[in-house]
Structure 1
Amino acid sequence: MFIPPGYSTVFPYFLVADADGFCRFLVDGLGGEEIDRTLDGERIVNAQVRIGTGTVMVSEASDALPPMPASYYLYVADADGAHGRALSAGAVKIMPVADRPYGDRQSGVRDPWGNIWWISQRLAEGPYR
């Protein structure tokens, strides 16, 4: 089995309205780096954005493949800074940044596409308590 570098066996594939804007949010709001984009005219049929050690794919939603918001857990080096960047890029706070009993400093935001992001900074080495 071959898997491209920067990918895992399972990874998110976002179907969104305004895929270009969503890619900008992933870069500006969550610190990602767009590494590839395939267009059909002006429509994004596939874009790849690397966020930390993972890669996600993004496509413009359609009638056949409608938008599908979901919830994602994102590890970052600085939860407070990442939370602020996400809000500056258009996300809305749903949970303030705080130390959680399971060893993460975490917040929750909802992006303009309806996805929920649990922005987490691991405070303790090892497994969850």
Structure 2
Amino acid sequence: MSAVTPYVMVDDATRFRAFLEQVFHAEVPVRVPLHTDPARTIHAEARIGDGSLFFADSGPDGGRCLRSPAEPVHVQLWTVVPEPEAAHRRALAAGAHSAAPVTVQDDGSRMGGFVDPFGTLWWVCAPA
């Protein structure tokens, strides 16, 4: 069996975790603190529905973590959620800005997007 799991490096993993929990009702069963600075995260796993997303603090003291690039990394994450309108509203309340309002697509699905406070573009969708 094969799988791919996105890994997002952010400047504040604690805030990113709170964002994921608020917007997607994510569960974070795994968080490994940086041994030299336990407030920072060297690795974490968030579960959103049946999927997983790994994340960590970026920065030079993060061991395998790298410093955030000077230019934004263009990452898009596609999420299937039961109520994309509600996820979109929660994201905006949590500091994201809208990239596209949730609308009905030609195939009957509902989709919209937002950019989180960490620079990641999220698409939220409910199938038709």
Specify the TM-score bucket, using the shorter chain as the normaliser: 0.7 to 0.9
Q: In the TM superposition, what is the alpha-carbon distance from 1:69 to its structure 2 partner?
A: 4.9
Match of 2:25 among 8, 15, 31: 31
Match of 1:51 among 21, 33, 48: 48
Q: In the TM superposition, what is the alpha-carbon distance from 1:83 to its structure 2 partner?
A: 1.0
**Alignment map for 1:73-84 (pairs within 5 Å):** 73-84=78-89
How many angstroms apart in 2 are the aligned matches of 1:66 and 1:49?
21
Identity of matched residues, %: 33
The answer to whether the 8 A contact 1:16-1:66 is kept is: no
Aligned equivalent of 1:103: 108
Q: TM-score, normalised by structure 2?
A: 0.84
Residue 57 (structure 2) pairs with residue 60 (structure 1): yes
Aligned equivalent of 1:89: 94
Aligned equivalent of 1:113: 118
How many angstroms apart in 1 are the aligned matches of 2:54 and 2:74?
14
How many angstroms apart in 2 are the aligned matches of 1:29 and 1:90?
10
Unpaired runs of at least 5, structure 2: none
Q: Report the aligned-residue RMSD.
A: 1.6
- Residue identity in the other structure for 1:65: L
Q: Deviations over 1:14-55 (max 9, x none)?
A: 111001101111111222111111101221001111011111
How many angstroms apart in 2 are the aligned matches of 1:69 and 1:15?
12
Unpaired runs of at least 5, structure 1: 2-7, 124-129
Q: Tell me the matched-pair count.
A: 117
SS of alignment partner, residue 87 of structure 2 = helix
The answer to whether the 8 A contact 1:16-1:58 is kept is: yes
Is the alpha carbon distance of 1:112 and 1:72 closer, same or farther for their aligned partners in structure 2, counting shifts above 3 Å?
same
